[in-house]
Chain A
Amino acid sequence: MSIPTQNQYCTFYVADHLFGVGVGEIQEVIRYQDVTHVPLAAHSVEGLINLRGQIVTAIDLRRQLALPERPADTLPLNVVVRTEDGPVSLLVDEIGDVVDIDESTWEATPPTVGGRIGDLVQGVYKLQNELLLVLATDRAVDVGASASI
């Protein structure tokens, strides 16, 4: 895994973890939208949202990262990232700041971090007070083959 070349990251929280995506990959951040659920879709797919006339898939990052479900009384936010395949929305708990990072604080994900997080995190920046987990957006929007029975 190579060191990401961006130095500004848009950050957000998912189940108390701080994640970051390079600002260049972010299209926009919008508040919670009505979601149309898609039966038979992969578990992580929350559904479809109407983004100004464009239909965008919303992926629940908690489920995608195999983290505990979001409490029912909180609404997620949409972090819309650009992908080869058009925009995809990542549902997150809370939006953080845009942070400038110091390249020298980069470290690869420790090998002990397993599971989905280990798969989807490219590496870690050691911020002063916490760790910024850099999300591999291409993998974060990949939900594998959809259900077909």
Chain B
Amino acid sequence: MTQDDDLAEVIGEFLVESGEGLDALDQAFVELEHDPTDVGNLAFVFRTIHSIKGASGFLGFQNLEKVTHSAENLLSQLRDATLLLTPEITTVLLLAVDAVRQMLLNIEQSGSDGDADHTELIRSMESLSHRPQSTTEPGVQVPGLDGRKHDGPTVHLPENAEAEVSRTSQGATQKEGVPVVPDNSSDEELSDDESKSVGELLVEAGRVKPEEVQLALEAQLAGDPRHVGEILVERGVLDSSDVVEALNTQRKEAGPTVNNSTIRIDVALIDRLMNLVGELVLARNQVLQFTANQPDSALVETTQRLNLITTELQAGVMKTRMQPIGNVWSKFPRVVRDLSLSVGKRIRLHMEGAETELDKTIIEAVKDPLTHLVRNAIDHGIELPEARAALGKPTEGTLSLRAFHEGGHVNIEISDDGSGIDVERIKAKAVSSGLISADQAAKLSERDASALIFLPGLTTATAVTNISGRGVGMDVVKTNIEKIGGVMDIHTVKGIGTTFRIKIPLTLAIIPALIVTTADNRYLIPQVNLVELVRLEADQVQSSIEKIHNSPVVRLRDRLLPLVDLADVLKTPKKTKVLLSAQDGEEEDFDSNLKPINIVVLQADDNQFGLIVDEVLDTEEIVVKPMGRQIKNIPAFAGATIMGDGRVALIIDVMGLAQESGVIAQSRDRSAGEAHTTTLEEMVATQPMLVLGVGSASRAAIPLSAVDRLEEFAKDIIETTGGKDVVQYRGSILPLAYVSQILNLPSSRDDVDTLEVVVHTSNGSSVGIVCDSIVDIIDETINLQATDSRPGVTGVAVIDGRVTDVLDVDFIADSVRLSGPSRSRSYAAVAS
């Protein structure tokens, strides 16, 4: 029983370590293609394969052992420089690596290395070797004294063999700091990456003279394929038991430094720790808030310590989850090599900042988007060598990956020096696919036009290849990046190249956020999106806020910043009324101008916009908690958290908010990839409706999109013109239409001094629709039924469990409008 457990554990370690080794191999091979004589890389590749072979022999995985043995044979010749690495050999060796990976997967899943037939692969490896296979059977070799790694093509034996032996063995130390093989399997010939070479140890122990070791090394250099130990034993200068002893010593010496400095931890455990730390941070926040008003100094002091310790603990646990982005990148050299060969291009991959660390969950999340971008660059970006030559570019294209930290975020850039994106072609494509209209296309800036590639259903590839070009992809890439709180943009110059920039947070678990309030509710804005805070004092408001058509803007350092009122977007009543949707040319005579305005400047995609909030409070470290499915698809919110006082607060999704408020294009189609056109019927059927109370019990509804503002007017300001009731509203005349009259019902507000008015704006002019009460906003799928034609009523539906008349807003507006329509409103699908 325990033996089985032990074995399972050994196999588990073997799998993990072999997997790590294999990942590094892909890259090593690609580098080797550039420099086939790189001794260090050859030694590393050899060692990795060698280790897997040794362990697989010990663990009884024969298929695995056969493949690795053949690969090792081929590699030993490469290392000995009796064979030069050709692309052909690389391909075969990579195939062998794939086969090994497949077998490791098999072992993981079924415990056996599978019964796939690798004879073809083994044969091709053998045929590439000059020499016949080593006569020594795998797994039964004498424990080897590996001096062989010294004799790469450029290494000359020094006079003092002892010094040479120790020097080169250092260079062979594993990158990752983990032993390549599990301890239990090391009875095999596995001595490569230890701190002191066996030859050295033997000399130290007085078992053999340095000259003998040197002779053996020379013999190896002359082509003897065996290990130093084997040679020495054969010559009779050494007993094989001495070799075994030296191997054991070597392992003991190397063991502690490697094994004691790192341990392996289940990711699930770290995730749990992270969750607990998150809870602790929240509890700490609560304790801090609670003790702020306590007079007891001992308590306050203890709380301060708790605060510090929690912060450090948090940092520590976060660090355990950090991984270099190179872990994801390591597979790209292989991807680039394979793909560029298959499409007949020559591409050099340049990577910079591979050591940049990111949270593990983020690393996982960016893996696919990055791969997609890399594939795209190879397939569409970089041109064929002939085309490049014709353009005077180097025939070899360059694909660069760059990662760096910047202000609590990680930036990743993927750039190619290829053809760039033909913006005109994108526009044409977008128009022909019906994604935007020709008018819109003509108005787009270069930058916005290149951002069109993020729209679902758009591809610029003239032909669909098996790599990319099906038009599903870039939108998904962008959505995935945004899902982890990242932002992405594209910069492309035709003929020069394309750069994608991705900015992502370091971690998802705990983020700093700014607390703001509107209508007495707290909301959190992740700092990743925060640019700056602007406060307009009361006397500045009038002069600073200007309007373009309906949109308020503020001049911020000579640039126009569109303004959005948080309360407007969230449709919550507001404390400070800043009438943002005022009409052109209106007097700004509302009382809000007397109050200061807080503007939070936010970044969404390429756009900045100002969010008007009531108050800006503080920043706090928050833990993003998921919300139930009932509310998680509200675009304006990214999640929720628990505040210091124990109450829940919502976290704003700045991208979602920007889209909701029209700051940026509604390009994120939730059902990505599907073209979707909304018909008028559908709009009515699925649109949120504003439900109005009419008379004592009747209800009417207006599509929320037709609602501009809700107002309450005193009855005594009503004036009449041409038999129509009007009020003076924000500098112009607002005609009033009474729902009770349209529906032919008595009003229940005859005895009240105020009017509830829904302001509707279309064709550039507004009308006020007077009802008795504003009931609610209802968002449910409604089944609209036609009625006998009653003017002003579109139909009847059951809304919120009540029979409700759905009003024909356009008809009502036209019936009371004072003048004809002035201009038509255009609904742009893409923001300009």
- A40 CA / B636 CA spacing, docked (Å): 9
With contacts defined as CB atoms under 8 Å apart, how many contacts are there between chain A and chain B in the complex? 109
Contacts of A42 in B (CB 8 A): 630-631, 779-780
Shortest beta-carbon distance from A71 to chain B in Å: 17
Q: Is the CB of B801 within 8 A of A38?
A: no
Contacts of B688 in A (CB 8 A): 147, 149
* A interface footprint on B790-811 (CB within 8 Å = 1, 0 otherwise): 0000000010111000000000
Q: Is the CB of A85 within 8 A of B705?
A: no
A145 and B279 in contact (CB under 8 A), knowing A39-B571, A48-B640?
no
- Nearest to B798 among chain A residues (CB) is A115
Q: Is the CB of A41 within 8 A of B630?
A: yes
Q: Is the C-beta of B687 less than 8 angstroms from some C-beta in chain A?
A: yes
Q: Is the C-beta of B647 less than 8 angstroms from some C-beta in chain A?
A: yes
Q: Is the C-beta of B635 less than 8 angstroms from some C-beta in chain A?
A: yes
Contacts of B629 in A (CB 8 A): 85
A88 and B648 in contact (CB under 8 A), knowing A53-B642, A144-B781?
no
Pick from B631, B636, B647, B801: contact of A115, CB under 8 Å: B801
Known contacts A57-B628, A144-B780, A148-B660; can you find 9 more A-B pairs with CB under 8 A?
A38-B634, A39-B572, A41-B630, A42-B631, A115-B798, A115-B801, A144-B781, A145-B686, A146-B633
Contacts of B572 in A (CB 8 A): 39
- Nearest to A117 among chain B residues (CB) is B801
Q: Is the CB of A40 within 8 A of B634?
A: yes
* B interface residues (Cβ-Cβ under 8 A, vs A): 279, 282, 521, 570-572, 625-637, 640-642, 646-650, 660, 686-688, 704-705, 776-781, 798, 800-802
Q: Is the C-beta of A92 less than 8 angstroms from some C-beta in chain B?
A: no
Shortest Cβ-Cβ A-B pairs, 7 listed: A66-B801, A39-B570, A57-B628, A36-B648, A147-B779, A48-B648, A57-B630
Shortest beta-carbon distance from A2 to chain B in Å: 25
A43 and B631 in contact (CB under 8 A), knowing A34-B647, A36-B649?
no
- A86 CA / B521 CA spacing, docked (Å): 25
Q: Is the CB of B630 within 8 A of A141?
A: yes
Q: Is the CB of A48 within 8 A of B627?
A: yes
Report A83-131 residues with CB < 8 Å from chain B CB: 85-86, 88, 115-116
Pick from A50, A141, A146: contact of B648, CB under 8 Å: A50
Contacts of B637 in A (CB 8 A): 38
Q: Is the C-beta of A139 less than 8 angstroms from some C-beta in chain B?
A: no
Q: Is the C-beta of A132 less than 8 angstroms from some C-beta in chain B?
A: no
- Nearest to B632 among chain A residues (CB) is A146
Contacts of A48 in B (CB 8 A): 627, 631, 640, 648, 650
Q: Is the C-beta of A56 less than 8 angstroms from some C-beta in chain B?
A: yes
Q: Is the CB of B660 within 8 A of A145?
A: no
Q: Is the C-beta of A10 less than 8 angstroms from some C-beta in chain B?
A: no
Q: Is the C-beta of A55 less than 8 angstroms from some C-beta in chain B?
A: yes
Q: Is the C-beta of A59 less than 8 angstroms from some C-beta in chain B?
A: yes
- A50 CA / B279 CA spacing, docked (Å): 12
Q: Is the C-beta of A79 less than 8 angstroms from some C-beta in chain B?
A: no
- Nearest to A47 among chain B residues (CB) is B648
Contacts of B631 in A (CB 8 A): 38, 41-42, 45, 48, 57, 146
Q: Is the C-beta of A17 less than 8 angstroms from some C-beta in chain B?
A: no
Q: Is the CB of A40 within 8 A of B570?
A: yes
Q: Is the C-beta of A75 less than 8 angstroms from some C-beta in chain B?
A: no
Q: Is the C-beta of A143 less than 8 angstroms from some C-beta in chain B?
A: yes
> What are 8 A-to-B residue pairs whose CB atoms are below 8 Å?
A39-B571, A43-B777, A43-B778, A55-B642, A67-B801, A88-B628, A88-B630, A146-B632
Q: Is the CB of B627 within 8 A of A57?
A: yes
Shortest beta-carbon distance from B482 to chain A in Å: 16
Contacts of B704 in A (CB 8 A): 149
- A34 CA / B647 CA spacing, docked (Å): 7
Shortest beta-carbon distance from B371 to chain A in Å: 31
Contacts of A39 in B (CB 8 A): 521, 570-572, 636
- A147 CA / B686 CA spacing, docked (Å): 9
Q: Is the C-beta of A49 less than 8 angstroms from some C-beta in chain B?
A: yes
Contacts of A57 in B (CB 8 A): 627-628, 630-631
Shortest beta-carbon distance from B142 to chain A in Å: 61
Contacts of B650 in A (CB 8 A): 36, 38, 48
Contacts of A37 in B (CB 8 A): 521
Contacts of A116 in B (CB 8 A): 801
Most buried by A among B572, B649, B688, B776: B688
Q: Is the CB of B642 within 8 A of A56?
A: no
Shortest beta-carbon distance from A120 to chain B in Å: 11
- Nearest to B645 among chain A residues (CB) is A34
Shortest beta-carbon distance from B797 to chain A in Å: 13
Q: Is the CB of B642 within 8 A of A147?
A: no
Q: Is the CB of A143 within 8 A of B630?
A: yes
Q: Is the CB of B779 within 8 A of A144?
A: yes
Contacts of B635 in A (CB 8 A): 148
Q: Is the CB of B779 within 8 A of A145?
A: yes
Shortest beta-carbon distance from A121 to chain B in Å: 14
Q: Is the CB of A36 within 8 A of B779?
A: no
Contacts of B660 in A (CB 8 A): 148-149
- A36 CA / B704 CA spacing, docked (Å): 23
Contacts of B570 in A (CB 8 A): 39-40
- Nearest to A59 among chain B residues (CB) is B630
Pick from B630, B640, B686: contact of A45, CB under 8 Å: B630
- A48 CA / B282 CA spacing, docked (Å): 17
- A115 CA / B780 CA spacing, docked (Å): 14
Shortest beta-carbon distance from B702 to chain A in Å: 13
Q: Is the CB of B633 within 8 A of A148?
A: yes
Q: Is the CB of B800 within 8 A of A66?
A: yes
Contacts of A148 in B (CB 8 A): 633-635, 660
Q: Is the CB of B630 within 8 A of A146?
A: yes
- A41 CA / B776 CA spacing, docked (Å): 12
- A49 CA / B625 CA spacing, docked (Å): 12
Q: Is the CB of A43 within 8 A of B633?
A: no
Contacts of B640 in A (CB 8 A): 36, 48, 55
- A40 CA / B661 CA spacing, docked (Å): 13
Contacts of B687 in A (CB 8 A): 149
Contacts of B634 in A (CB 8 A): 38, 40-41, 146-148
Shortest beta-carbon distance from B810 to chain A in Å: 18
Q: Is the CB of A55 within 8 A of B800?
A: no
- A148 CA / B656 CA spacing, docked (Å): 10
Contacts of A149 in B (CB 8 A): 660, 687-688, 704-705
- Nearest to A65 among chain B residues (CB) is B801
- Nearest to A63 among chain B residues (CB) is B800
- A13 CA / B649 CA spacing, docked (Å): 30
- A2 CA / B777 CA spacing, docked (Å): 35
- Nearest to A36 among chain B residues (CB) is B648
- A94 CA / B266 CA spacing, docked (Å): 46
Pick from A43, A50, A144, A146: contact of B646, CB under 8 Å: A50
